[in-house]
Amino acid sequence: MSIKYLIILFCFLLLVPLTYADATASFLGDKELIYDFDKPKGETFSLTRVIRVTLGNESGRNIQDLSVSFYGIDGITASIDDASKSFYLNPNTHKDITVTFYASSSMEEKTYTGGVLSITGTNLASQNITGFTVKINYPNPTIRAIWDKVDWGNVKAGTSFKRILTVEEYYGYKNASNVTVLIAEIGPAELLYSGEIGDLDPLESKNIQVNVTIPQKGLKPGTYNIKPIITSTSVITSEPQEAKYTIPQPKMEISKKTIDMGKITFEPGKDTTTRIITISEVGGFTPIEGLSFSLTNGPKGWVSIKGDDYIAPGESENYSFSITLPPDASLGDKDWAYDLKTHYAGKQTIYLYVTVYFPGIEEATGYLKNLSASTDSQEEKSLIQDTLLLLENAKGKTEIRKIAMVMSVYSGVRSLLSYLEDSEKDLIDGKLISSADAIIKANSALNKIRIGDENLEDAELKLQSSKSVTAAQNLWQRFAKNVLKDLENKAAETKENDYKVASLLYKRMSEISKYSGDEKKAREYQQTQQLLQDRYEKSLLSASEDVKKAEIMLRNARSKMFQLGEGEGTFYFVYNPLDYDEVSTNYESAIKNYETAESLYRKAGEIKDAERIAEELQILYKQKNQIFIAFVAYGSILVLTFIWFMGRVTIGMQRFKQDDRESSVGDVVIGED
């Protein structure tokens, strides 16, 4: 090329403006777009990817109006945020921009191919990026159960109300088949409802009416959750809503915690006293249950308490406290403390006090005269008369000690006659042990008469009280002798066949003999009582061991059998004929052990245990017979089956031989020409 043309080209390059290449875009990341829909239908679902804008020039460029679009797959769109649409790109650098791909929840659940991402912008080379695939995954039916009211608040015992549980498929993609709702963890509440929902289409809902009943009794305070459990033959996701209700603590109020029972004495109509208190439940929701009184302080046998152990919510109950003066009671102030306990309403203490005072001599005289008129026993009349003379002689005496000792004799005589009357009545009714106990108590009353007599220093009174002591001793000895005779006869009858009763009889015989002054007899009876007690304990131990052996035998036998049913109607079947002998032997051994245990329980005097074993024996007798009958029937079936089988085999062999012979008839024999 000539110099002239080179100069012209150089000048042209100096005068023409420089031009630069546009920026380019590339796609980074995976082109497979997988949408796992985890929200209800209608909501937006998106995924993000990155594109990189690169500039290779020596000079920077302003990228403007950058935009993306997606086509080739309906339902998928793409966009970038506004801040990324315009920017300055330095030379030889790049910028990463996030692209968001949106999927419509109305698309069909499958895999799509052929997606194209188009990228355009000022100073950017337009580009179509191909090869995108889209996979749509819809969730399983999502079923939730929603209560019309989540917190039911405090509930009242004995009330009923209704709640609505709405069951719905709320994601809207797939249906669920055979939906069932079970309401669990309900606490003490009783729920009546039908949990059969059936099929649920997408976005379909059905209501369950739940009838709630709160029992009147057996309520434990606390907050209880009500949890629905949703099941279906389809694979589902369940979202049950829990409800709750509260059984509050019962609140107890007592009208009076310290009770003045007044004064009582040893006279008819004056020897008892009653007071009433009111206990209320004031919370209004939960009853007071398990209300009971337990003595923590004070003499036993004086106080009786009547009243229910249950107080309904918001209601009140009356409780009566009655004191009956025992015949052998001492004088003075008496007090008691009772723990009032409940299941959940707390604990309180109730205090009672009463004063026991001497009856006046006139009152005591009147009582004995009435008592004398009501008895036909000359010995009793004599004792009463001697005591009346003692009381008459005590009139006009002012010394407290003398009066106290006279009244001790009177109180003892009164108690003695009362106990002897009880003993005679129990003896007639055949209640020997109760009769003997009354004789022993009468001896305590006799000691009270002796104490009063021994501490009397007045000679005139002493002379008369000694007569009361002698008459009381003679009367007690006569009653004790009669009771002791009947005790001996009964003990002889039961000594070999009822160790418990015989032991109790000999114990009373020993005590009565001791109080009668016959120490030798008392020791003999005590030794016999100890012997019977040992027999009783050994019999119970042996019976218990026999029962355990029988139970082991039965378990061994029943392990070889097939069981149908429960209780008395249980049917046992020996499925392996070879095990029948072992089963039968175990049953026989169990029956023998049970029979021995029954006999031992009867000898020990534990009749309830013996009757229980007898009932078990009756069941075993029936079962053993039923097992035998079933075995015979089963064996017969097996034998018949075997005979039938052998018959079929025999017939088959005969037919085979006949067919073989018939096949040889008609054979063609070719001879020589």
| Beta strand 32-36 pairing with 124-137 | parallel
* HSE-up (13 A, CA, CB side) for residue 574: 26
Among 99, 103, 98, residue whose Cα is nearest residue 77: 103
Q: What angle do CA 166, 167, 171 make, to 5 degrees?
A: 120
Please tell me the predicted confidence (pLDDT) of residue 155.
Answer: 96
Res. 260: pLDDT tops 90 = yes
Identify whether the C-beta of residue 133 lies closer than 8 Å to the C-beta of residue 111: yes
Res. 31: pLDDT tops 80 = yes
Res. 137: pLDDT tops 90 = yes
Identify whether the C-beta of residue 319 lies closer than 8 Å to the C-beta of residue 349: no
Q: Which residue has the higher pLDDT, 351 or 630?
A: 351
Cα–Cα distance for residue pair 82/90, rounded to 1 Å: 20
Q: Residue 67 pairs with which residues in a beta bridge?
A: 120
Task: From residue 51, give the alpha-carbon distance in Å to each of 134, 565, 577.
Answer: 18, 74, 82
| Run of H or E including 382 | helix 378-394
Mean pLDDT for 460-473 is: 88
Read off the pLDDT of residues 52-66 as tens digits, 9 standing for 90 and up.
777 676 667 888 889
Res. 617: pLDDT tops 70 = yes
**Token pair belonging to 481:** 């002798």
Cα–Cα distance for residue pair 273/267, rounded to 1 Å: 12
Please tell me the predicted confidence (pLDDT) of residue 664.
Answer: 56
DSSP state of 23: B
Cα–Cα distance for residue pair 271/327, rounded to 1 Å: 9
- Range from 154-158, 350-354, 641-645 carrying the lowest mean pLDDT: 641-645
Q: Write down the number of H helices and E strands in the chain.
A: 10, 31
**Token pair belonging to 647:** 């018959």
* HSE-up (13 A, CA, CB side) for residue 521: 16
Count of positions (residues) in the chain? 673
| Cα-based torsion angle of the residue sequence 467, 473, 478, 481 in order, rounded to the nearest 10 degrees | -160
Among 482, 506, 485, residue whose Cα is nearest residue 494: 506
Q: Euclidean distance between the first and final Cα of the chain, in Å?
A: 125
| Cα-based torsion angle of the residue sequence 608, 612, 617, 623 in order, rounded to the nearest 10 degrees | 160
Mean pLDDT for 609-615 is: 88
Q: Strand locations in 111-159, DSSP E? A: 111-122, 124-137, 142-147, 151-154
Identify whether the C-beta of residue 221 lies closer than 8 Å to the C-beta of residue 248: yes
Q: What angle do CA 506, 507, 509 make, to 5 degrees?
A: 60
Amino acid identity at 129: I
**Ranges 175-189, 273-287, 323-337, 545-559, most confident:** 273-287
Which residues are CB-contacts of 525 (< 8 A; sequence separation ≥ 6)?
Answer: 506, 507, 509, 510, 513
**Token pair belonging to 501:** 């009763």
* HSE-up (13 A, CA, CB side) for residue 510: 14
Give the model's confidence band at 594: pLDDT under 50 very low, under 70 low, under 90 confident, else very high. Answer: confident
Task: From residue 105, give the alpha-carbon distance in Å to each of 35, 139, 222.
Answer: 10, 11, 45
pTM, two decimals, is 0.54
Read off the pLDDT of residues 186-203 as tens digits, 9 standing for 90 and up.
889 999 999 899 999 999
Read off the pLDDT of residues 646-671 as tens digits, 9 standing for 90 and up.
878 888 777 777 766 666 555 544 54
Please tell me the predicted confidence (pLDDT) of residue 673.
Answer: 43
* HSE-up (13 A, CA, CB side) for residue 111: 5
Mean pLDDT for 429-452 is: 90
Res. 275: pLDDT tops 90 = yes
What integer best gives the mean pLDDT of the chain? 86
Which residues are CB-contacts of 190 (< 8 A; sequence separation ≥ 6)?
Answer: 212, 213, 214, 215
* CB atoms inside a 10 Å sphere around CB 349: 13
Which residues are CB-contacts of 612 (< 8 A; sequence separation ≥ 6)?
Answer: none
* CB atoms inside a 10 Å sphere around CB 275: 16
Read off the pLDDT of residues 392-426 as tens digits, 9 standing for 90 and up.
888 777 676 777 788 888 888 988 988 999 998 99
Mean pLDDT for 362-370 is: 83
DSSP state of 402: H
Identify whether the C-beta of residue 620 lies closer than 8 Å to the C-beta of residue 590: yes
- Range from 88-102, 138-152, 643-657 carrying the lowest mean pLDDT: 643-657
Read off the pLDDT of residues 330-342 as tens digits, 9 standing for 90 and up.
778 999 999 999 9
Cα–Cα distance for residue pair 496/157, rounded to 1 Å: 56
Helix ranges (DSSP H) in 559-606: 580-604
Q: Residue 143 pairs with which residues in a beta bridge?
A: 169, 238
Give the model's confidence band at 179: pLDDT under 50 very low, under 70 low, under 90 confident, else very high. Answer: very high
Among 414, 438, 416, residue whose Cα is nearest residue 428: 438
Cα–Cα distance for residue pair 553/291, rounded to 1 Å: 46
Q: What DSSP letter does each residue of 296-316 carry, written as one string? A: EES-TTSEEEE--SEE-TT-E
- Measured in degrees and rounded to the nearest 5, phi and psi for residue 138 equal -95, 150
Mean pLDDT for 221-240 is: 93
Please tell me the predicted confidence (pLDDT) of residue 13.
Answer: 42
Res. 462: pLDDT tops 50 = yes
